[in-house]
Amino acid sequence: MTVDVVMMSLRRRDLQVLLIKRRSWPYEGMWAIPGGFVNIDESLETAAKRELQEETGVQDVYLEQLYTFGDPGRDPRTRVITVVYFALLDSERLQVKAADDAADVGWFSVYDLPSLAFDHEKILHYSLERLRGKLDYTTIAFSLLPDQFTLRELQRVYEIILHKRLDKRNFRKKILSTGILEDTGAKKMEGTHRPARLYRFNPAAEAKL
């Protein structure tokens, strides 16, 4: 059994995923999702965190178990079932580097992926659809924002993930009606527009989503 870790982040106004370049067979030299085999004496989550650190240098991140993939021909070595974990993070807080088990590591747009090893393209497409679905009933989008943000910045996060434009008035009406935003009383200049209100996430109201 293996574990794979899908890590996504907003970079340069684009939704990107962290990939590693494989150092060995199979698919040597191809890009792939970080991951590897589970040791006999470790839990799935422990294995996921270990593989992530060994291949990218990333550690101490919260991982959510996403789905299990087990098509018979997904790995040319043998029959392998993989459990996929997911994390949505602020890339500016991460120190990413190719570690011992990877030849290289890099961020790629989910809308312009290179050829991927195994069935990782399928896994990434599934992960993206799950992420889009979570926007309706979780506060996952806030993990990509600073502690204080404007409504325009929040809407931009939604638009990038959904890959479409949203009506400004409808978006603000819907998000403010949930009660999950708290007005900080501070304001921020956004270009030539008048100062915009700064909000913060109100965790006490999360259950209202």
Residue 209 has pLDDT above 60, yes or no: no
Q: Write down the pTM of the prediction.
A: 0.88
Mean pLDDT of the 11-26 span: 93
Residues 11 and 101 in one domain: yes
Q: Spell out the residues 6+ positions from residue 73 whose beta carbon is closer than 8 angstroms to its own.
A: none
CA distance 46 to 131: 23
Residue 141 has pLDDT above 60, yes or no: yes
CA distance 125 to 120: 9
- Dump pLDDT digits (tens) for 67-125: 999 999 999 999 999 999 998 887 766 677 776 678 899 999 999 999 999 999 999 99
Higher pLDDT residue, 4 or 60? 4
- Dump pLDDT digits (tens) for 143-163: 888 889 999 999 999 999 999
Number of structural domains (the chain) is: 2
- Dump pLDDT digits (tens) for 164-190: 999 999 999 999 999 999 999 999 987
What is the 8-class DSSP label of residue 207?
G
In the numeric block, the tokens 């990939």 are attached to 19
Residues 152 and 117 in one domain: no
pLDDT of residue 184: 95
Average pLDDT over the chain reads 91
Residues 167 and 183 in one domain: yes
pLDDT of residue 207: 53
pLDDT of residue 176: 93
Residues 114 and 37 in one domain: yes
- Residue ending a domain, choose from 134, 162, 189: 134
Residues 12 and 68 in one domain: yes
Residues 169 and 127 in one domain: no
**CA 205 centroid distance within chain:** 23
Q: Which domain holds residue 66?
A: 2-134
Q: Residue 100: which CATH number?
A: 3.90.79.10
Q: Residue 170: which CATH number?
A: 1.10.10.10
Residues 88 and 180 in one domain: no
pLDDT of residue 154: 96
Mean pLDDT of the 27-54 span: 95
Residues 20 and 71 in one domain: yes
